[in-house]
Amino acid sequence: MKDFIARWHLSAWDTGLMTASLELGSLIGALTAGVLTDKYSRRQSITAACTVFCVGSALQFGAQSPIQLILGRGTGGLGVGALSMLSPLYMAEISPPEVRGSLMALEQFAIVLGAVLGFWTGFFTRDIEGSASWRIPLGIQLIPGFLLGFGCLALPPSPRLLVAQGRVDEALRALAKLRLRTAAESATDPLLQIELLEMQAEAALIEQTTGNDDMHTAKPGTLQAELRAWGRLFEPQLLRRTLIGVVMMLFQQWSGINALLYYGPTLMRSLGLQGDSATLMSAGGIGIVQFLAVLPAIAFIDRLGRRPLLRWGSTAMALSHLLIALLVWRYSTDWPTHWLAAWISVGCVYTFTAAYGVSYGPIGWILPSEVFPLSARSKGVALSTASNWMNNFLIGLLTPVFMEHSPSGTFLVFATACSLGYLWSTYFVPETANISLEEMDAVFGSSVGREDVALKQQIEADLGLHDLVQRWARESTTARHPD
């Protein structure tokens, strides 16, 4: 890394631009992917986003000037932002409801694994002579970019999107592949048929209640149709879900995770640790704790539910921040004498990270992807993801200002955000575990009110869903009790 510093002589302005270009690119990427993914397929959009990401990584890898690095980070950011919106969307749409939380928590697992690998690659290459010390870690990004871009082509398309586009046969084939059924089985398997009919019922309901004007039929791609589709997120029917997605990401970021990651070394140094050990204990340690903490989330999130994890997580995070704020306020002028207080603070940083890692980390990505109905899902997830990047950017910008003003006050800000997060998860967030995406309307008491419930029942009856469910229930009872 000495080469990087000596070669570019970056001003504070360059450093700021370099950091902000990725976040700005990601913000734009998340919002534009929301526009493209309904028109094309989820998978094609993921492959396109990977291509953009790889172009950005190649620009960074071969950078000959700071401008090229900034451009490379901005371009890479476009891909990262798009992928951070497309991946949870696609995963939510292909997962069966009983294990959707666990499967989606794998996204957080992948994010944190990437961060850990990135950190250690940078750590081990930092003393290599010449530009290889920084070109290697930047170039390695190309590997996951290629893997995802090509690997995604082998995945089945989202059956929900196909149903909404009226391509029911293809949707059945995709569903059969996802649920590991053969073509012959898919024609007779009642569970598969029920799942498909539920998707058709939701698509038909959307079409009948909204005229499907904003999705595919009414002059798709026109600015007016786009604006109307975004505007629907703020109509009374969807406003609560939009707020859940956007506010979930706001709390995820204002819990302070990235402040600890970005400014951890400064904090650790202020606690008396020096040089490499400060970096290792902060970014390195926090990454590993986040990685370990997501494992129980993967195992238990569907059994325990999202709300309890959010509430316990907020409590543990708020208490950790509060204790750090107190200790920093009381002892930070003389840590060497109060070494025990310093180490308790370090312990609190890790306790916070573990609590975050099982709660706000994964649930931040899960909740926004499951609350929206199909007609508004891609826009809703895009807006929530944009909220993640926007708040991430604000944290990066404001934390140093807060820290300079009052280090203990900074932790109080995060403690307050976590306490508000507790109230919000208790009084505002419904439980979404084990509920199919099609049943989410009922969870939000949406809407849609009695007339739509009646309409939905009529559509389900017309499609033969009720008969099929009853026949399947009869057959499975007979199979269990043959006489």
The least CB distance from residue 197 to ligand INS, in Å, is 35
The least CB distance from residue 160 to ligand INS, in Å, is 24
Q: Which of residues 91-130 bind ligand INS (CB under 6 A)?
A: 108, 111-112, 115
- Looking at 406-448, list the stretches that DSSP marks H as alpha helix, in order from N- to C-terminal side: 407-427, 440-443
Closest-by-Cβ residue to ligand INS is: 361
Closest CA to 256 of 402, 364, 418, 107: 418
Compute how many other C-beta atoms are within 10 angstroms of the C-beta atom of residue 344. Answer: 16
Kindly tell me which of 27 and 342 has the beta carbon lying closer to ligand INS. Answer: 27
The least CB distance from residue 301 to ligand INS, in Å, is 14
Instruction: Return the residue of 29, 74, 145, 364 that touches ligand INS, per CB under 6 A.
Output: 364
Kindly tell me which of 69 and 257 has the beta carbon lying closer to ligand INS. Answer: 257
Question: What distance in Å separates the CA atoms of residue 460 and residue 454, rounded to the nearest whole number?
Answer: 10
Kindly tell me which of 261 and 328 has the beta carbon lying closer to ligand INS. Answer: 261
Encoding tokens for residue 32? 């534009």
Kindly tell me which of 113 and 168 has the beta carbon lying closer to ligand INS. Answer: 113
Kindly tell me which of 34 and 368 has the beta carbon lying closer to ligand INS. Answer: 368
- The site string for ligand INS over 272-291 (x = CB under 6 A, - otherwise) reads ------------------x-
Question: What distance in Å separates the CA atoms of residue 164 and residue 215, rounded to the nearest whole number?
Answer: 9
Question: What distance in Å separates the CA atoms of residue 246 and residue 385, rounded to the nearest whole number?
Answer: 8
CA neighbours within 13 Å on the CB side: how many for 33? 38
- Looking at 233-373, list the stretches that DSSP marks H as alpha helix, in order from N- to C-terminal side: 236-254, 257-270, 275-279, 285-304, 306-331, 339-358, 360-371
Number of residues that bind ligand INS (CB under 6 A): 13
- The site string for ligand INS over 228-257 (x = CB under 6 A, - otherwise) reads ------------------------x----x
- The site string for ligand INS over 33-62 (x = CB under 6 A, - otherwise) reads ------------------------------
Q: Which of residues 406-465 bind ligand INS (CB under 6 A)?
A: none
Question: What distance in Å separates the CA atoms of residue 258 and residue 264, rounded to the nearest whole number?
Answer: 9
Q: Which of residues 301-320 bind ligand INS (CB under 6 A)?
A: none
For the chain, report the end-to-end CA distance as a whole number of angstroms: 75
158 binding ligand INS? (CB under 6 A): no
- Looking at 40-158, list the stretches that DSSP marks H as alpha helix, in order from N- to C-terminal side: 42-61, 66-94, 100-125, 132-140, 142-151
Q: Which of residues 384-413 bind ligand INS (CB under 6 A)?
A: 388, 392
Instruction: Return the residue of 258, 353, 359, 375 that touches ligand INS, per CB under 6 A.
Output: 258
Please, what sign has the CA dihedral across residues 100, 102, 104, 106?
Answer: negative
Residues sharing a CB contact under 8 Å with residue 325, sequence separation 6 or more, in sequence order: 408, 409, 410, 411, 412, 415
Kindly tell me which of 77 and 157 has the beta carbon lying closer to ligand INS. Answer: 77
Instruction: Return the residue of 79, 361, 380, 407 that touches ligand INS, per CB under 6 A.
Output: 361
Kindly tell me which of 108 and 200 has the beta carbon lying closer to ligand INS. Answer: 108
Kindly tell me which of 384 and 410 has the beta carbon lying closer to ligand INS. Answer: 384
Encoding tokens for residue 418? 């976590």
Question: What distance in Å separates the CA atoms of residue 13 and residue 472, rounded to the nearest whole number?
Answer: 65
Encoding tokens for residue 467? 């008969």
Kindly tell me which of 353 and 410 has the beta carbon lying closer to ligand INS. Answer: 353
Compute how many other C-beta atoms are within 10 angstroms of the C-beta atom of residue 276. Answer: 12
CB of 404 closer than 8 Å to CB of 124: no
Residue ranges binding ligand INS (CB under 6 A) = 108, 111-112, 115, 252, 257-258, 261, 290, 361, 364, 388, 392
